[in-house]
Structure 1
Amino acid sequence: MAGEVGNKVIIFDTTLRDGELMPGVQINVEQKLELAQFLEFMKVDVIEVGYPAAKEKDFAAVFQVAQLVKDSIVCALASDKVEEIMVAAQAIKPAAQGRIHLYTSVNLKDRSIHSQAETLARIRESVATAKNYCADVEWSAFDATRCEPDFLCQAVETACASGATTISIPDSLGTASPESFSQLIQMLQQRVREIDCIKLSVHCHDDLGLAVENSIAALHSGARQIECSINGLGARKGNADLAAVVREIARMPDYYTNVNLNQLDSASELVKQIVEQIP
């Protein structure tokens, strides 16, 4: 950590959840417990453990990590379906600090007013439902970089007004450039009411090899949480690499993270060993 001066950047690790979406990668419950405890030791702020409604294994992992981890926020993913939110809430129930992470697709193929109204209603209901079970609710605008800008602003405003504490803007298919992604974040900062009342997060995929650059560009434009993974594990070509992000921030005078730089190489080796064990 390069001194607690300036703006803190929250590091949200999704190795245990999105990392498993990389072809050939599987992480069992015991390995998730080991990694989660190491992430806590590294002082990672948020640990996204899994998608409890999608896999029984993930429910078990989230529930057990929630019992063990005390210093980091334990996060579970759910869609905007009420039944998935209920499962996520049950999974994080033992956590000293829990978070429900919701997502809704905002790149609407049917751009009718009716379709937009239905989507906004789902955002409103899902965030409000999650708030009944957990004070810390993150909402992600899935496929935000390909969404119509006016509707994206409406969707983010709706999530804010419904009680989301963090709003994530993902480059879901890894199609953005640092310039275009930075402009998107700036637009939201300028146009969305109550944007200052939430933490703005980004989740960048590495299809064009730009996940780290896009994350840092967003940081300069107002984002204060970066979602990343150890060794960049994640769907398709991966996510922003945690070590690269943290080391880049450590060189900046105006930003800092809580992550222990001395443990980055050990974390990388631990994940390599787990991945190499996969048959």
Structure 2
Amino acid sequence: MSKMIQFFDTTLRDGEQTIGVNFSIEDKIMLAQKIADWGADVIEAGFPVASENDFNAVRRIGQEVTNCNVIGLARCVKKDIDAVIKALTDAPHGQIHVFIATSPIHRESKLHMTQEQVIEKIQACVSYARQHFDHVEFSPEDATRTEWNFLVKAVRTAIAAGAEVINIPDTTGYTNPDEFGALFDYLKKNIPEFDRVTFSVHCHNDLGMATANALESIRHGATRIEGTINGIGERAGNTALEEVAAAMYVRHDFYQAENHVDLKKTYELAKLVSQKAKMPLPHNKPITGTNVFSHESGIHQDGFLKNHATYEILTPQSVGVAHSSIPLGKLSGSHAVAVKLAEIGYQVTKADMK
């Protein structure tokens, strides 16, 4: 049976953590509205405790974007949670996302905390957040480098304290699809509450597998995918949500899953984020790059001209691109040259082409 996959967009939070990217408050409000209109179910508007600007952006998005859930991020620190409360408790669809690192390297080198101290923090902070919000998401940061039995303990503690969404972050892009799927199977087997909460994933792209890992999680029980438009974010970036949406569309037979994304608005949104982030889209960027619907080599051009589906697994119009193109280059064949000549008014025979 088909299941519904929520899209959680963090372009305005994790995306803005890309080196050199700085969105103004007005940019954020405009982008949030466009992302909501594209079909995101949740927008992570920012990290309110980080600065006055961040706080104001989160608050305004929470008040002005009313067709989407709006979430604010907080560490498991009371002042962080208080900042989200102040920014979003009176928003029409305000929510909170709290996190603490759980992996050994983070516990020992960053937090200087024992497993027991981390568990105590989760219980205290999630329950405090739950007093102020009906919807609480919890993330064990660096989950994929956390001992699996301790990860289960952390997740169950958060659920007992009131979290209704559990996010499993691959914070450093460390995992791979096989391992990630196995982790989800382990969680499902060892967390009796698995099916009564939403499991989410937040994958990074350090080894180039963010989209693959996110898609694999759908097959193992995740029902929310977190990511950004164009895959912007820390270091090598995040799961590109438009890639997940397109993969679910093209391979609906395989994933058997639905979402609320209006795929035809994808290219326009990708261009807008690219412009505001001052990060040009790579020509070979999946789904939205200029080369995706262009065919230069003779064999490809010939097949494409006979039947577009020979080399295009989705139409350009399905993602909001006007049409495909067949640029002429050193590898172009006679079929494409004949078509180009016809376009400018010259009818040529096969003999002429030779």
For the criterion TM > 0.5, the same-fold answer is yes
- Name the counterpart of 1:143: 142
1:263 to 265, 269, 292: 265
- Superposed, which structure 2 residues align to 1:75-86 within 5 Å? 75-86=71-82
Distance 1:275 1:81 in 2: 30
Is 1:215 aligned to residue 214 of structure 2? yes
2:170–2:202 Cα contact (<8 Å) kept: yes
1:56 to 52, 55, 64: 52
One-letter amino acid matched to 1:265 = Y
Distance 2:188 2:129 in 1: 25
SS at match of 2:187: helix
Is 1:245 aligned to residue 244 of structure 2? yes
One-letter amino acid matched to 1:196 = D
Question: Once the two structures are superposed, what CA deviation does each residue of 1:171-228 show, in whole Å capped at 9, x if it has no partner?
Answer: 0000111111111111101111211111000000001110000000111010000001
SS at match of 1:203: strand
Tell me the CA shift for residue 12 of structure 1. Answer: 0.1
Is 1:99 aligned to residue 98 of structure 2? no
Question: Once the two structures are superposed, what CA deviation does each residue of 1:139-170 show, in whole Å capped at 9, x if it has no partner?
Answer: 00100010011100100110111110100000
SS at match of 1:53: helix
Question: Once the two structures are superposed, what CA deviation does each residue of 1:215-260 show, in whole Å capped at 9, x if it has no partner?
Answer: 0011101000000100001100100001101111123142010011
- Superposed, which structure 2 residues align to 1:88-127 within 5 Å? 88-109=84-105, 115-127=114-126
One-letter amino acid matched to 1:126 = C
Q: TM-score scaled by structure 1?
A: 0.94
Q: Which runs of 4+ in 1 moved over 3 A?
A: none
Distance 1:100 1:246 in 2: 25
- Name the counterpart of 2:153: 154
- How many pairs align? 272
Tell me the CA shift for residue 276 of structure 1. Answer: 2.1
2:89–2:95 Cα contact (<8 Å) kept: no
Distance 1:276 1:149 in 2: 40
Tell me the CA shift for residue 277 of structure 1. Answer: 8.6
Distance 1:10 1:99 in 2: 15
2:21–2:278 Cα contact (<8 Å) kept: no
Q: TM-score scaled by structure 2?
A: 0.75
- Name the counterpart of 2:224: 225
1:69–1:95 Cα contact (<8 Å) kept: no
One-letter amino acid matched to 1:227 = E
Distance 1:147 1:125 in 2: 21
- Name the counterpart of 1:203: 202
Task: Give the alignment's Cα RMSD to 1 decimal.
Answer: 1.5
Larger radius of gyration, structure 1 or 2? Answer: 2
- Name the counterpart of 1:179: 178
1:63–1:93 Cα contact (<8 Å) kept: no
Query: Percent of aligned pairs with the same residue?
Result: 37
1:277 to 1:160, Cα distance in 2 relative to 1, 3 A: closer
2:39 to 23, 36, 43: 43
1:36 to 1:154, Cα distance in 2 relative to 1, 3 A: same
SS at match of 2:252: coil
SS at match of 2:104: coil
SS at match of 1:85: helix
- Superposed, which structure 2 residues align to 1:18-37 within 5 Å? 18-37=14-33
1:231–1:243 Cα contact (<8 Å) kept: yes
2:246–2:263 Cα contact (<8 Å) kept: yes
Tell me the CA shift for residue 108 of structure 1. Answer: 2.8
Tell me the CA shift for residue 116 of structure 1. Answer: 1.3
SS at match of 2:98: strand
2:135–2:164 Cα contact (<8 Å) kept: yes
Distance 1:135 1:178 in 2: 33
Using CA pairs below 8 Å that are at least 6 residues apart, which structure has the higher relative contact order?
A: 1
1:171–1:205 Cα contact (<8 Å) kept: yes
Give ranges in structure 2 of 5+ residues lacking alignment.
281-354
1:34 to 1:181, Cα distance in 2 relative to 1, 3 A: same
